[in-house]
Amino acid sequence: AVVSTQSTGVDMLAEQVDIVARCQGGNNAGHTVVVGDTHYDFHLLPSGIVYQDVSCVIGNGVVVHVPSLFEEVDKNIAKGCADITDRLIISDRAHVVGDVHQTVDGLYEAEKQAKQGNSLGTTKKGIGPTYSTKMQRTGIRMSDLLGDRARLKEKVMGIVQSCALRFPNHSFDAEEEYRRLEALIPRISPMIKDTVLYMHESIRSNKKILVEGANAAMLDIDFGTYPYVTSSNCTVGGVCTGLGIPPTKITDVIGVVKAYTTRVGAGTFPTELTDEIGNAMADIGHEYGVTTGRRRRCGWLDLMVLKYSHMVNGFTRLAVTKLDILDTFKELKVCVGYKLDGKDLLSFPADHALLEKIEPVYTTIKGWDCSTVDCRTFETLPEQAKSYLNLIQEFLDVKIGWVGVGQSRASIIVI
């Protein structure tokens, strides 16, 4: 099993594997894969689904909003992605995101905004509330859709009633919630399987498996910029708990990182650029979230974040994407350290209040000021671009295996 994060890394490798799997998150993530002139947008589906010889797994750690799943399936079928439902396997242990969870997500955000003047900036897709019911042991799993309907209805009613108690001023319709879910059971039932057994048998048969991370490492519920994080473990540990894969079976951990830093939503961002440089990065890089359409915040590459991510994930190789977005900048800065109250920090602080006081330490290098989009080997990259990449490798002591200089698959340089 090979672990990667984000769809660019997956798309580079998916053609070489038998199975691509998701292990955490829900449709709160968004990835775009470009095949020829066609742009495929993925939120719940593993992005390896574009390859017709690849099977795709949605693991037990994922939370699934069934209407959104089928909307995504139908959209991508219309774009020419064939046989999706025949190649998609959903864990019988995965939890179901109800419409009520999405409603409550928005209500929580509105409440926080009214009380504190700011919100977490969630996608309002119901992800956090679904993981909450999972941890409270009152959630609905895919296996429940295959079982007794009276028991399923009772579970739906229980969740809706709990939400109604929390938000008494909002009108909830438990009967309608159940009817909407029940109507989709015939279509989703054939895809629901024991994915722990499926993955185990696939590993024993020497199948090549690629696991796709849905969110960035700094959004991890334990290791990220808490509380401005997602509700699942999107670092490498989530692969084991979200798919039932033993850690000894993971052979490669590939970290996918942009050549600069971005963040969507609220939360501390030490290297953020709120000037014309940051705006230029966002415009040139088309930095808008696939799920929400929100403009991403942009900043200089933060090697302290990468170093911390490497501590947690143990990267064996890196894939650096969107190097071409920096082609026109005369000068580039890279964060190589943090200071707090004049003292050097060795790692990434847990306390968000401390994060807001961090002073980034930068090294400045000359930009290459020419196009890299036609480069197809490391050797043909401009010297300053190679120096930029070597700085990343040397700081982390991890080799770069791939460099992206454009959107298409042909724009990936293999080193």
* pLDDT at residue number 5: 47
Tokens, residue 274: 């709120």
Give mean pLDDT in consecutive 10-residue pieces for the chain, a chain of 415 residues. Answer: 53 84 87 76 88 94 96 91 92 97 91 75 86 97 97 97 94 96 97 98 96 89 93 95 96 94 88 95 86 84 96 96 96 97 92 92 96 96 97 97 88 90
Name the residue type at position 283. D
Determine the longest span between alpha carbons in the chain, in angstroms.
67
* pLDDT at residue number 103: 94
Closest CA to 215 of 274, 268, 289: 289
The DSSP secondary structure of 48-87, one letter per residue, reads GGGSTT-EEEE-TTBEE-HHHHHHHHHHHHHTT--SHHHH
Q: Scan for tokens 């949605």, then name that residue.
A: 58
SS3 98: coil
pTM across the whole model? 0.91
Rounded to 5°, the CA angle 262-267-23 comes to 70
Contact status, residue 64 vs residue 97, Cβ threshold 8 Å: yes
Q: Scan for tokens 């799997």, then name that residue.
A: 21
Contact status, residue 90 vs residue 142, Cβ threshold 8 Å: yes
* pLDDT at residue number 121: 67
CA dihedral in degrees (67, 70, 72, 73; nearest 10)?
170
Beta carbons within 8 Å of 137's beta carbon, 6+ residues apart? none
SS3 366: strand
